[in-house]
Amino acid sequence: MKITCISDSLSFIFHKLGRIIARHPFYFFIPPVILSVLLSVGLLKLITIETVEYLVQSDSGETFKNKQFVNKMFPMNTSEFYDFMRMTDRPQAPMVYIKNKYGNNLIQKDNLLEIQILDEIIKNITIIVDEKVINYRKICGVVNEQCTENPIINVLSEMDDLLSGKKKLKFPVQIDPLTYKYDLWALNFGGVKYDVDGYVKKVEYIRLVYPVDESNFSKRHWICEWQKAFLRNVKQLDFHSIEIYPCPFLTSVLDVKNFADEITPLMSVAVIVVTFFCIITYTTNSWIKSKPWMGIAAVVSAGLAVVSSFGLMGACGIENVNSNIMLPFLIFATEIDDAFVIVANWRVTDVEESVEARMEKTYSKSAVSITITTLTNILSFCIAMTAEFPGVRIFCYYATTCVCFTYLYQITFFGSCLALSGYREERGLNAFTFKVTKESSNEHDLEEKNEFAFMEFFRDYVAEILSRPFVKLTVILLYIINLSIGIWGVTFLQEGIEFSTFYPKHSKVAKAYQIYYHYFTEFAYPVQIVINTTLDYSQLEVQKSIENLMVKFHSHPNVVGKEFEVSWLKYYKEFQNHPVSKFSMSGFDMTQKQDFIDGLLRVFFRLKAAKQFSTD
């Protein structure tokens, strides 16, 4: 009874609304147009977010809180110090992947010489931005007042020793026990064959990484333009011995930015196709009852709703995302259905009645269906607004607003157009020429017959077949089988996006993704361990407990051995046992808290090799 009461009340309200619209159609035609024009000004203030990492990463939950804590307590300043092992986000550094054209080991003289030339070419890529000449040295990530260098480039000066075997490279990390300097060979090498001691014997792929100064906001535009030039130049390079593959991540980011520009022209195609479809659908073999202009009105109504919603969001300062370009297609594909419902209910009304009476019955019958479909859409999008991912939330903000405006314009703008079309029909005017047209009784009967033939087919034949017990049982069994197959299929779903599938299978970008995932993920992610409790590190008990903690971490099968651990406490203790410390650390009692801190700040951190630990 309560549900019936709600539906009856809704039908009554729409019954009255239909009468008012029929009496004053222009009052409901002009205001929506004016409102859309005013709100469209907000499109000028629309701000589009193009940072893919921000959109796809959670901004709440335990992981987000931990990340915020680490970024606050241990901020990464790429203008003074740059270290991949201490970053909490994937760096924006452009990369290039290299392989031997003939499938041989890359640690050969001709390959290394061409890699050296490639590195020089990339560093010399120059662009002009804001009337300034920008090259890599203007935007690079800085360490010790110099641009961060790839480890493989640093050892090319010792190429002969490397090729003869006098100089050995230890994979994945090579740490100097005297200077504490380490080379992260997992950064440059992929598809590595190494001996039992970890020394490199063969390298199938080499990756060159070019860190940029992400901390300097004034350089972001420079960095973006240089990255585009980087891709353009790398794609044009060709060498005798080595094959080059551009950075797939950077390519995807720039492609996402170009996504809206490439798909926007398709919107006009969609509008034309949908409009033509609506005109054909609303046209019958009666020149008077045909409603081709209602097809155009349905499309215009949806278009006004999209413009109004985007304008309102822009005026309110709600950020936009490139994926919102899909919303007009979604609105045109789904919300125009309600226009068909309204027109279908108009067609079953008595043509002998007045326009007011027909509008009352049309709106009364359409009220529940279009309102329920709108509410279900709104509720679905509102639930998705609680998602932890900004990209999902922003899309749902815009989608909900679009649906609300579509519903509003359907019952006002589209309804007024329907009333005007009704007055044209009442006066017997041709739908195309707007001249008085007379129809014979035979034409009228044929129109009536054609108009209800489809409904009669479902009423007299389909409904009768579905009412048979055997058919009912068959339908239920088919439903259960379909549901079971669906549940079984869900178990095979895999989370995540395979970006390589977005590109042609044999393209260099797809190949670069495959190289990364197959050859550069064995030692891809350093684990940062942060102790968020104040401890007296001069106490032997505390040092022992931290050592036990690290032993537990290193015992995990996915964590490398203790020899690859990079820790300020580990190297500070080793420094205390070094012969040099007998003179530099004399007078300090390491069991005393203040002496422990003074030795750390005044002696250990002043060593050039230990500077890397100063921000830990």
The tens digit of pLDDT for each residue in 6-28 reads 778 888 888 899 899 999 999 99
pLDDT at 543: 93
pLDDT at 397: 93
Q: Across 303-312, 328-337, 555-564, which has the greatest mean pLDDT?
A: 303-312
C-alpha dihedral sign at 461, 464, 470, 476: positive
Q: Which of 388-397, 558-567, 599-608 has the lowest average pLDDT?
A: 558-567
Task: Kindly tell me if the per-residue pLDDT of 445 is higher than 70.
Answer: no
The whole-chain average pLDDT of the chain stands at 85
CA angle 169, 175, 176 (to 5 degrees): 100
Task: Kindly tell me if the per-residue pLDDT of 82 is higher than 70.
Answer: no
- Structure-token match 């009337």, residue found: 131
Alpha-carbon radius of gyration of the chain? 35
Determine phi and psi for 46, rounding to 5 degrees: -70, 125
Using pLDDT thresholds of 50, 70 and 90, give the confidence band for residue 441.
low
Instruction: Please tell me which residue, 34 or 445, carries the higher pLDDT value.
Output: 34
pLDDT at 142: 82
pLDDT at 600: 92
Q: Which of 308-322, 413-427, 557-571, 589-603 has the lowest average pLDDT?
A: 557-571
Q: Which of 1-5, 60-64, 174-178 has the lowest average pLDDT?
A: 1-5
Determine phi and psi for 505, rounding to 5 degrees: -55, -40
User: What DSSP designation does 429 have?
Assistant: B
Task: Kindly tell me if the per-residue pLDDT of 480 is higher than 90.
Answer: yes
Task: Kindly tell me if the per-residue pLDDT of 36 is higher than 90.
Answer: yes
Task: Say if strands 320-321 and 48-49 run parallel, antiparallel, or are unpaired.
Answer: parallel
Report the length, in residues, of the chain. 616
Check: CB of residue 595 under 8 Å from CB of residue 589.
Answer: yes
The CA distances from residue 387 to 355, 393, 396, in Å, are 47, 6, 10
Check: CB of residue 347 under 8 Å from CB of residue 3.
Answer: no
- Tokens of residue 332, six digits: 């045109």
Q: Which of 177-191, 359-373, 378-392, 446-460 has the lowest average pLDDT?
A: 446-460
Q: Across 193-202, 293-302, 557-566, which has the greatest mean pLDDT?
A: 293-302
Give, rounded to a whole angstrom, the gap between the first and last alpha carbons of the chain: 68
The CA distances from residue 173 to 85, 185, 201, 387, 564, in Å, are 11, 6, 15, 39, 6
pLDDT at 3: 55
Question: Which residues, in sequence order, are bridge partners of residue 22?
Answer: none
Task: Kindly tell me if the per-residue pLDDT of 136 is higher than 60.
Answer: yes
- Counting residues of the chain whose pLDDT is more than 70, the rounded percentage is 94
Task: Kindly tell me if the per-residue pLDDT of 448 is higher than 60.
Answer: no
